[in-house]
Amino acid sequence: MRLLVAHCSVEYKGRLGARLEPAPRLILVKADGSIAVHSDSKAYKPLNWMSPPCVVVEAEGVITATSPKGETLRIELHEVLHDTVVELGDDPGLTKDGVEAELQELIAARVAALRDDLTLVRREYPTDIGPVDLLCSDAAGGTVVVEVKRVGDIAGVDQLVRYQERLDRDSRFAPTSGILVAERIKPQARVYAESRGIHCVEVDIATLRGSVDRLTLF
């Protein structure tokens, strides 16, 4: 991973246009082919980014990232304050806490309770950005990506969207649909999920443990 702190301006061109005026920022260039621009405030999300895979080229104080769809992220480096490369190696992956892992196992055993026509294809389906909790298919043969959380928040929706984007690049799966499952889904996350065409399902773990196949669908 390359960590670059620089006084920079940023311009994105794609489905929409966006620009960041000159300011000191952190730029992360990762081995997976992604690039992200962060400020020292405004929470954990990057101000702008390009998801993998993309082509990153640096020349004459400008870093340009181009996606397969033709989107571009152009970062003009006005002054470099810090530039280092750190080899992180292979990551062992996220270990879910007891409740989240149990939820995934219980739901995998009764995915039809989420929707009558669902069939489980595989738990922890591997992708190059991490495993999909539950990969399912519906009656029409479509691929349904299920993300299981203890509490459904905006970060969980973003994670599900990233998984769908990865699988949508494979003709075997595209186009996918998504379901976010949690014991509690925050109102903002539900609104965001619905705007991305993602269904939200709240479940009660005690009910699941009792093998009662009735879940609450929103």
Q: Are residues 9 and 59 in the same domain?
A: yes
Instruction: Identify whether 29 is part of a domain.
Output: yes
Question: Can you tell me the distance from the alpha carbon of 14 to that of 65, in angstroms, rounded to the nearest whole number?
Answer: 12
| Tens-digit pLDDT profile for residues 186-205 | 999 999 999 999 999 998 88
18 versus 99: the higher-pLDDT residue is 18
Q: Are residues 192 and 102 in the same domain?
A: yes
Give the confidence band of 13 by pLDDT, cuts at 50, 70, 90: very high
Last residue of a domain, one of 64, 85, 106: 85
Instruction: Identify whether 147 is part of a domain.
Output: yes
Q: Provide the CA 98 distance to its chain's centre, in angstroms.
A: 22
Sheet of 2-13, strands arranged across: 48-50, 35-38, 17-29, 2-13, 72-85, 62-66, 55-59
* Strands (E) located in 30-175: 35-38, 48-50, 55-59, 62-66, 72-85, 119-125, 132-137, 143-152
Q: Residue 94 pLDDT more than 90?
A: no
Token pair recorded at residue 200: 């939200």
Q: Are residues 77 and 10 in the same domain?
A: yes
Residue located via tokens 């093998």: 211
Count of structural domains within the chain: 2
Question: Can you tell me the distance from the alpha carbon of 14 to that of 149, in angstroms, rounded to the nearest whole number?
Answer: 31
CATH classification at residue 78 = 2.70.180.20
Longest Cα separation, the chain: 63
Q: Are residues 133 and 196 in the same domain?
A: yes
Q: Are residues 106 and 81 in the same domain?
A: no
Q: What is the pLDDT of residue 211?
A: 55
**Summary mean pLDDT of the chain:** 88
Q: Provide the CA 155 distance to its chain's centre, in angstroms.
A: 8
Q: Are residues 63 and 109 in the same domain?
A: no
Q: List the domain range (segments joined by +) for residue 28.
A: 2-85
Instruction: Identify whether 213 is part of a domain.
Output: yes
CATH classification at residue 180 = 3.40.1350.10
Last residue of a domain, one of 62, 85, 108: 85
Instruction: Identify whether 38 is part of a domain.
Output: yes
Instruction: Identify whether 91 is part of a domain.
Output: no
What value, to the nearest 5°, has the Cα angle with vertex 97 and ends 96 and 98? Answer: 120
Q: Residue 212 pLDDT more than 70?
A: no
| Tens-digit pLDDT profile for residues 126-184 | 988 889 999 999 999 999 999 999 999 999 999 999 999 999 999 999 999 999 999 99
Instruction: Identify whether 12 is part of a domain.
Output: yes
Q: What is the pLDDT of residue 160?
A: 96
